Structure 1
Amino acid sequence: MSMTEIVYRVGDATGPDGSGSVIIAHVCNDLGRWGKGFVVAVSARWPQPERAYREWYKQRESSDFGLGAVQFVRVAPDVHVANMIGQHGIRSSAAGPPIRYAAVDQALEKLGDFAAAENASVHMPRIGCGLAGGSWARVEPLIHARLCSRGIGVLVYDLE
């Protein structure tokens, strides 16, 4: 298994470059809130990820919903959206921004397992670094460890 590097692109992660099976990954909060940031672009393109996330949140007492969990939603024959719970709440507090790096790391590990099984590439914005308030300098090494080190292709998109 060869190590891959993150490929950076300018563009929209909901319109991924490449062929074959793709997973569009993003970070969600643990409050059942959907409506700001990257999810707006996701919902504009596909209704299923938001519906699935809200239903998953409703079932949280009897499901794996919570920090570090991932929900894979098929939106096209060869496209999945990965709803990764890596954000506690939606506002910064005295404890810092809502990002939870350990949860992002756990979610990326599950994403890696799924991507390997699907032989898929992973496409994402700079996860955890928008509304979640995270630092790319802390997120990028997690992506390297959980995805790139396994030979999984990763494309990170920055909007123009």
Structure 2
Amino acid sequence: MSTEIEYVRGDATLPRGPGPKVIAHVCNDAGGWGAGFVGAVSRRWRRPEAAFRAWYRDRATSGFALGAVQLVQVEDELWVANMIGQHGIRTRSRTRTSGDVPVRYEAIAEALMSLADEAAALGASVHMPRIGCGLAGGRWERIEPLVTQHLTGRGIAVTVYDYDAA
């Protein structure tokens, strides 16, 4: 059973619709948290950042690595999925034109496969910004097929939010 990605204007930290929901976003493997979409996540809930930092701190034994996913419950029937799909942190010297971007498409694909299993077990829909396309430097035309293959292709409803700063 395949479904289409739904695109909406809005805030991915305020997911729409009934039932259990998972908010998915891409994190780096350097333990950094504070720029991009994670800022919006942290303004709404403290637990995803605290869990991410503990996961990174204990990385020798916690499973923290490119492609890994950490699900953090933030409300009744609402989770945040910290997905490690970015190697390092983007700096001003790294530009989109140089090709030296931190996004790792293979890691995002691996994380989405795990996320699909988690969402299916929860009976949850998945909500996200255009993951991997902000500070990670990725291109949506490469990430969208991964979302389609690993989530909507398995019948998991996905809503992608394009934020309008008012």
What's the TM-score once normalised by structure 1's chain length? 0.97
Offset of residue 150 of structure 1: 0.5
Aligned to 1:144: 148
Instruction: Map Cα deviations across residues 64-99 of structure 1 (whole Å, 9 max, x no partner).
Output: 101000000000110000000000001237662000
> 1:20-78 deviations in whole A, cap 9, x for unaligned?
00000000000110000000000000000000000000000111101000000000110
CA shift digits 1:115-154 (9 cap, x unpaired)? 0110100000000000000000000000000001110000
Determine what percentage of the aligned residue pairs are the same residue: 60
Q: How many residues align?
A: 159
1:13 matched to which residue of 2?
12
Q: CA RMSD in A?
A: 1.0
Question: Match of 2:111?
Answer: 107
Taking structure 2 as the reference length, the TM-score comes to 0.94
Shift in Å at residue 19 of structure 1?
1.1
**SS class of match (2:84):** strand
- Structure 1 unmatched runs, 5+: none
1:78 aligned residue: 77
Partner of 1:158: 162
User: Moved runs in structure 1, 4+ residues, more than 3 A?
Assistant: 92-95
Q: Give 2:63's aligned residue.
A: 64
